[in-house]
A and B are shown apart, each in its own frame.
Chain A
Amino acid sequence: MSYEEKLIRTVIKLIIAGVVLTFLVLWGVQLYLNRIPAQPIYFKHRHHVTEMHISCFYCHTDVAKGSFAGMPSVQDCMQCHQIVNSTDPNLTGKYALNPRELANVAKLISYWKNHKPIHWVKVYKLPQFVHYTHRVHVEFFLQAASKDPKLAALEKKYPASYPCVLCHGNVAEMKVLVPKQGFFWRDLVYGGQTPLITMGHCINCHTEWAGKKFPGGPDVPSLSQMRNCSECHY
């Protein structure tokens, strides 16, 4: 190989390396810019669900009746926290809150006092061409729990968070809810994340339960209906 050929080869390699490096830098920048911001209040599902045994339905009230699970209003949070705050003398022993937790409660109270709603960061974002209704699924799993041994066991294991745990994972054990981005280092940092809900997840479950009939109901539609595209894409 002549000197010129070597030079050209090196320059080409440098250009390509430069392009790749630029892509990587830009990718990193957009990763940073589009990073999921922290929730406005560091709300711990673990404390509320596992330790205080508050059911998912208590806050996410629309889940059994509507398409969306619903977000609790600030008033809902204040039902407890008008008492459970830094002025509560009963917050001792196992009920004690550390200073960081008390600061978060104080933050909540300031939202209420200033008449400001909380702008939570959305964890689950379905594309616009996907329509999902919580009601149908929650109703089914609640009714089927007494008739299917697997579901009954799950309900026994997660009394406060059944049937939500089937899709959303053990939210009760998560420090803070962060959507899975598929990057393992976030799993390490945030201590368990919500499962990535993809179309495959839905199809698997629809296939597994299709055609099942329980004495006295609920009856699950047939496989062709459960895998009909227009059930969710309309």
Chain B
Amino acid sequence: MEITRREFVKLTLMTGVAAGLAGCALPPHQLLVSQLDMPEYREPGESVWFATTCQGCSGGCGVSVRVMDGRAKKIEGLPEHPVNHGKVCAKGHSELQALYNPDRLPAALKSNGTSFTTVKDNSEVFKLLAGQLDQAAARKGTMLWITKPLSGTKGALLAYLAEKVGAKIWILDFPGSQAERAAMKSLTGKPELPYNNLLQSDYAVSFGSDFLLQGNSPVHDGWQYGEFRQGKNRHRDQKRGILVTFSPHLNTSTANSDRWIPVAPGTEGWAAIGLGNLISPHKKGEWLQWAKPIPLETISRITGVPEGIYQRLAARLLSARYPVALSGPENGLYTNGVWNTTVIQSLNHLLTGEYSSFNNSDFVLLPGQKGVPADLFLSTKEALQEMKSRKFETIWVFDANPRFLLPAALNFETLFNKAKNKVVFTPFIQETALLADYIVAAQSWLEEWGDRKLDGPFGIDGKRETLYELQQPVCLVPDWGRSISIPDALLSSIKLSSFSKEFPWNSFRDVLKSRYSDKDTWETLIVRGGIWEKYPLSWEMYGGDKTNPLYPPPAVTEKGKVLSGVNPWDYLKKLTFNKKVQPEFSGDKNGFVLLPYPSLALGDGSLANRPWMQELPDPMTTIVWASWIEVPSSLAKQLNLTREDVIQLETDSGMIQGPVYPNPGLHPSCVAVPVGQGHYSYGQYAYNRGFNPLSIVNPMWNEADELAWYSTRVQVKKTNMKQHLTLQDTRMDRLPVQVLTL
């Protein structure tokens, strides 16, 4: 067939025009949403900075938030804050994405059995809550509150209300600090958290604590670590600090050590005994009498660490001027978790001559509140037992997600559904909220009032100091929403209940103002974000002079009396640290110990709906937007596994499948999986991504009756599948294992 030149040109032109037109698509339109009311402090084009306290974790960092036109733009650290010294972690920075998340609930929701409808007016919710409070007060002991760890005046308010209505409180947290608190209580009488005194030290031995990322105060510990490595310890001897870590898993803090010593999981306390037995004859301090006769050979056998390593390390600790031992939440995650932590802190006491601890969750009592009854709180085991016996008619959940966190074997869904009334206070529809009758749209900490009291060696030169921090709303609550802070929701409901006279405040701000009623105190809290002693180092670093107009800070008083707080953790009565010395594991003896560790980016899963955190590369594997299973090199060789091969982990409680990441930084008896993914309801960024390793954990308990997350053995099976991982690392496979051991 012949086509003429003319026809060819015609055809080409027609096709070209058609293709060109198809490419000329209009871009989709965008919307500009005006404010309803501009804030009074607003100056056009100018930012305003507010000092407040980050509530992303229990660390209590002071932050300043840049706000423009009533919208929060950036979170930075407060330079002179004694906890974080001007620094903020990735979690803190990403709090903006929780505030302006498109999946945030704009209003309360009501369930009709199959779906949720929007509640048009919050007064309907307040009436409902008031009714449930009155019912609970009439039949005490039939109400349960499940919450994340509480602190400050908010904690005191909830405790006060719970006492009035006879409610029980179950504090659910992953990984949880109860084991550490129980350990410190047995040693010091106070259920506080161990303090990592790196700034005091030139030689530190850590027992697996991921203090740089997941500890009880990661930003503070990170700052300390920087000073420690630069030789800027408090003794000013300019000697670079040395860090050695015993751990079954090479986490970020361990990877920053000068030596990593792989130790069998759950035997960190035994490693501490090995060192303590070698050091105690040469040191004046107290050491555990019952541990002294244990031969080093036994300890070496139990931990899997050669005797020579203990001897060399003990010699180095003895020659160091200021050695310390560090423990962390990870040590408490075994069935012998309290014992583990107790022994490690005993070693620290031997090395330093003191127990160093701090507390970040005192309750600041309300006027007239005498204390917090110890039997107000339930451990996880007790709470589940009481839910099983149908004791609770009403369950309220405050921003916790037990359905995601708890192992499937505990059957939380069935237990929760036994209650007649279920209300969840949360900013997002998470897994637990799906079971609720009502979901109250809670606010971000950037929009609500609060406070926190910290006690610890945060003062100048490590002096023990009390800090009072204020959390204040920095931005306008979106006009299109009817979210409300949890304390304000409770106060509004109490007004409609039968005991409104005992709570004479209209809002939580009023409660706080009544606690910090001194004018200077309140102004200092608002302007500075908290009350603490001046910290000259950071003040000068940022160009300030030594004359700080807010120094000395006013005493925190209420009508002439100095305010104090109360430690609510006194309920931790279990002191059986000298039992369960060996860790117990469920599952096949030939299986591998599952270590579901909290990931840097996603924590316990509550950060999975923030794209910034999803795209934050894991520091060890550089993987983003996924779950993975880390296996030791020996297992990878045995099963002929390479990266991205899919394997199956099976326990009595369930099974998960995922891509493999062979990790030479794992003890041969373990597999490790980061926690955080596996949501099936938490917004578009978290939905249907990865898997949740907590679901297959077999329920085992530590001495504090909390879940021993690291006590499950899994069967590992290879499949024929592959799953792509997005990551930046190319070298980890090829690192020789010898580099990582003494």
Contacts and interface: CB of A to CB of B under 8 A. Distances in A.
Contacts of A12: 11
Contact of A31 (B19, B26, B32, B69): B26
A118 interface: yes
A184 B36 CA distance: 36
B1 A70 contact: no
A70 B69 contact: yes
A18 to B, nearest CB: 10
Contact of A115 (B3, B34, B36): B36
Contacts of B1: 5, 8-9
Contact of B22 (A23, A62, A117): A23
A34 B26 contact: yes
A100 interface: no
A73 interface: yes
B46 A65 contact: yes
B35 interface: yes
Contacts of A181: 26
Contacts of B29: 34, 36-37, 121-122
Contact of B30 (A23, A72, A76, A122): A122
A62 B14 CA distance: 49
A71 B32 contact: yes
Contact of A30 (B14, B15, B25, B30): B25
Interface in A43-83: 61-62, 64-67, 70-76
A26 interface: yes
Contacts of A27: 21-22, 24-25
B182 to A, nearest CB: 49
A7 to B, nearest CB: 10
Interface stretch (B37-45, B389-397, B485-493): B37-45
A135 interface: yes
B541 interface: no
A20 B15 contact: yes
Given A23-B18, A121-B29, A62 B36 contact: no
A59 to B, nearest CB: 10
Interface in B15-70: 15, 17-19, 21-22, 24-38, 43-46, 68-69
A37 B37 CA distance: 25
Contacts of B32: 71, 119-122
Given A16-B11, A34-B25, A64 B33 contact: no
Contacts of A72: 34
B101 to A, nearest CB: 18
B26 A30 contact: yes
Nearest to A4: B1
A125 B31 contact: no
B45 A62 contact: yes
A234 B290 CA distance: 66
Given A27-B21, A35-B26, A116 B44 contact: no
A97 B722 CA distance: 70
B270 to A, nearest CB: 56
A196 interface: no
Contacts of A26: 22
A94 B17 CA distance: 52
A24 B31 contact: no
A121 B33 CA distance: 9
A41 to B, nearest CB: 11
A66 B17 CA distance: 43
B480 interface: yes
A142 to B, nearest CB: 15
A203 interface: no
A11 to B, nearest CB: 11
Interface residues of A, number: 43
Interface string A128-154: 000000010000000000000000000
Nearest to A111: B36
B34 A64 contact: no
Contacts of B31: 119-122
Given A35-B26, A36-B29, A117-B480, A62 B34 contact: no
Q: Which of B19, B25, B26, B27 has the most CB of A within 10 A?
A: B26
B502 interface: no
Contacts of A67: 45
A223 interface: no
B480 A116 contact: yes
A120 B34 contact: yes
B413 interface: no
B36 A73 contact: yes
Nearest to B37: A75
Contacts of B24: 27
B26 A62 contact: no
Interface in A143-168: none
A62 B11 CA distance: 53
A19 interface: yes
B479 A115 contact: yes
Nearest to B22: A23
Contacts of A61: 44-45
Given A9-B1, A61-B44, A76-B38, A117 B26 contact: no
B21 A24 contact: yes
A231 to B, nearest CB: 20
B15 A16 contact: yes
Contact of B15 (A19, A36, A71, A117): A19
A64 to B, nearest CB: 7
A38 to B, nearest CB: 11
Contact of B34 (A30, A34, A36, A71): A71
Contact of A20 (B3, B17, B34): B17
Nearest to A17: B14
B35 A74 contact: yes
A19 B18 contact: yes
A70 B44 contact: yes
B479 A34 contact: no
B27 A34 contact: yes
B19 A116 contact: no
A20 B29 CA distance: 27
A117 B34 contact: yes
A75 B38 contact: yes
Contacts of A122: 29-32
B35 A65 contact: no
Q: In the A-B complex, list the 7 residue pairs whose CB atoms are closest, starting with the nearest.
A: A65-B45, A66-B45, A34-B26, A23-B18, A61-B44, A73-B35, A122-B30
5 contacts: A23-B22, A66-B68, A72-B34, A116-B479, A121-B31
Given A23-B21, A27-B21, A62-B69, 15 more contacts: A5-B2, A27-B22, A31-B26, A34-B26, A34-B29, A66-B46, A74-B35, A74-B37, A116-B36, A117-B479, A118-B34, A119-B32, A120-B34, A121-B31, A122-B31
